[in-house]
Structure 1
Amino acid sequence: MTQKTILFLFLFSIQQVWAQNASSEAAADSVVYWKNGGSFALNIQQVGLTNWAAGGESSLAIGGTLEGFANYEREEVVWENRAKFGYGVIRKGDNTNRFEKTDDAIILSSKYSQKFSQMILMSAAINFRTQMDEGVKLENVAGQSEKRRVLISDFMAPGYLQASLGLTYRPQAGLSATLAPFTGRFTFVLNDSLSRAGSFGVIAGEKIRSEAGISLIGTFERTLMKNVELKTNYNFFSNYEKFPNTVVNIEAGLNLKVNDFIQSKVNTQLIYDDDVKVTRSDGTRGRDVQLKNVITVGFTLKF
């Protein structure tokens, strides 16, 4: 056997080994452990009335929502992350009137889990919620025709941070529930005037309230029919000192897809917090159910 033949066989063997390794690495890299995506929705509604016999008032409403998720799953590890930013305003009447806020939300969540099985996991989660802008309520003033604008909320007033450790049950895709007997809930009221008033359950003059309790957090997602999706998030928290009084936060959304760019959404959010007093439509103040319903049709871009 000549030296050229030996050299050829040696190089050929190296090439084969390299090709097999490259093939194995490519096969391993073809497994996708990260799943991520998001969407941006913009909704605009304008009503213009001039000498309209039936009556009514012109209005302009603008709203937008930016959502995203990044989920990782490999072997025994599951890491789920979600973010949502929403803002909307409406102006009634002509250009001299103010825009009033109709939607304002910052929601961030992250949950890290270790599998006991495909359906049972040990989970540590963090959920954060606040708003971007000031919130006001218009109140009647005795003897005056114009209403008074009263500040009732602001950025980080309130802000909620909830950290929990517990067990997650996920019997199928789109359905999960985490029961966490070790949950800490922190309420922030960083606006001085709202803090002095003792808003959102903090002690008057304090800016942070901490609570220890038990929580139940979960999601439910299902395609009801073609181009119709239901998404629900819920969060129940009960302070051990006030058990079984429970803070309730439920969000449900129905997405109706027209095409890749046009969608209609029906969103409902229900909140009840025994420590939060609200001003009712009749002017009285007290504990009550907070309910928000939003129906929109607009441009949606998914990525």
Structure 2
Amino acid sequence: MRIVTLAVVLAVFVTAQAQEADTLRAADGWRSSLVASLAGNQAAFSNWQEGGVSALAATAEVDGQFDRVVGSVLTTQELRLALGVLRQDTLALRKALDVARYAVTAELASDRPIRPAVSATVRSQFAPGYDYAPAAADYPSLSVVPGQALKVSDALAPLVFAQTVGLAYRPGNGLVGRLGLGLKETVVAIERLRPVYGNALDEAVRVEAGVDAELALERPLAENVTLRSRLAAFQGFSQIGAEAPDVVFENGLVLKVNDVLNVRIEGTALYDADVSADVQLREVLSVGVSLGLL
């Protein structure tokens, strides 16, 4: 509830201070941004009397956005690929961050803030994921061995698709809202992992229909400091009155030290009753170098 309230307050604040509407014309061609980043940290100890734990962490990431007006249609494509690993003391290398997301939106190019729109999104991951301290109560369909890591995901498992037809809202100042009717497909090719993501054992693809909403903001807060925030919610028709909607709330601050060095602070809250009754949280702080490819 606090997440939703914060998002509403943020939207009202930004809308009240909105400046000119975001505009892009067919004659402008592509408006593109593609940035590759590499961040890491390392600490090593050998015969260090005061003690310490050796650790190594590294994250590689690609972020892109590509906008263009073709005829009377504004197309927006967003790409994020990120993979991070961690090794601590004598432990084996572990996955720390794994994101693969692509989204495309087509909407009627207009000077009006509200216009018809369609969108599609695909989200997955690159590498297997493990729960290193699994509880049998959290995985009733899997065989949990105390003290042993449990594989709970794999490359492209799960694979989530979403499609929405509705309206887009662009008041300007970096704020974009979308609302419409949508479909969501959860694909889990590995049978034993299907119940972990709400699918039945014989259900490789679970299809849900419902209402899809998204509110996204990208706005400079100060010189060389940019806020990126996205709140997305999907309420399946079968969930109405029984379950709360699936919600993803992502927030990130990018602090540019110079043209190459930057600091990123990210926080993500995820709620999906088909996966867990609790809110899932992820926080990332990274210092690294970035290179603008486009």
Pick one of 200, 207, 210 that aligns with 1:210. Answer: 207
Does the aligned pair in 2 maintain the 1:87–1:103 contact within 8 Å?
yes
Does the aligned pair in 2 maintain the 1:156–1:191 contact within 8 Å?
no
Write the distance in 2 (CA, Å) between the matches of 1:147 and 1:50: 28
Does the aligned pair in 2 maintain the 1:135–1:152 contact within 8 Å?
yes
The answer on 1:292 being equivalent to 2:286 is no
Deviations 1:197-233 (A, max 9, x none): x121111232110000001113101100000000112
What letter matches 2:211 in structure 1? I
Shift of residue 117, structure 1, vs aligned partner: 4.3
> Any stretches of 5+ residues in structure 2 without a counterpart?
1-24, 136-145
Pick one of 239, 243, 248 that aligns with 1:242. Answer: 239
Q: Which has the higher Rg, Structure 1 or Structure 2?
A: 1
What is the TM-score of this pair, normalised by structure 1?
0.80
Q: State how 1:191-210 maps to structure 2 within 5 Å.
A: 191-195=190-194, 198-210=195-207
Does the aligned pair in 2 maintain the 1:115–1:122 contact within 8 Å?
no
Q: State how 1:35-114 maps to structure 2 within 5 Å.
A: 35-73=31-69, 76-94=72-90, 97-114=91-108
Write the distance in 2 (CA, Å) between the matches of 1:124 and 1:53: 61
Output the aligned Cα RMSD.
2.0
Shift of residue 74, structure 1, vs aligned partner: 5.4
Write the distance in 2 (CA, Å) between the matches of 1:52 and 1:238: 54
Shift of residue 251, structure 1, vs aligned partner: 1.2
Identity %: 27
Shift of residue 30, structure 1, vs aligned partner: 10
Shift of residue 45, structure 1, vs aligned partner: 0.7
Pick one of 72, 94, 114 that aligns with 1:120. Answer: 114
**Counterpart for residue 149 of structure 1:** 149
**Counterpart for residue 18 of structure 1:** none
What letter matches 2:249 in structure 1? I
Deviations 1:125-149 (A, max 9, x none): 00110001100111379xxxx9312
**Counterpart for residue 24 of structure 1:** none
Q: Which secondary structure does the structure 1 equivalent of 2:28 belong to?
A: coil
Q: Which secondary structure does the structure 2 equivalent of 1:193 belong to?
A: helix
What is the TM-score of this pair, normalised by structure 2?
0.83
**Counterpart for residue 224 of structure 1:** 221
Write the distance in 2 (CA, Å) between the matches of 1:30 and 1:63: 37
**Counterpart for residue 162 of structure 1:** 162
Does the aligned pair in 1 maintain the 2:69–2:109 contact within 8 Å?
no
**Counterpart for residue 260 of structure 2:** 261
Corresponding residue pairs, total? 257
Does the aligned pair in 1 maintain the 2:26–2:69 contact within 8 Å?
no
Does the aligned pair in 1 maintain the 2:247–2:270 contact within 8 Å?
yes
Q: Which secondary structure does the structure 2 equivalent of 1:148 belong to?
A: coil
Shift of residue 161, structure 1, vs aligned partner: 0.5
C-alpha spacing 1:191/1:140, structure 2 compared with 1 (3 Å): closer
**Which 4+ runs in 1 deviate beyond 4 A?**
none
Write the distance in 1 (CA, Å) between the matches of 2:254 and 2:110: 34
**Counterpart for residue 190 of structure 1:** 189
What letter matches 1:293 in structure 2? E
Write the distance in 2 (CA, Å) between the matches of 1:83 and 1:243: 31
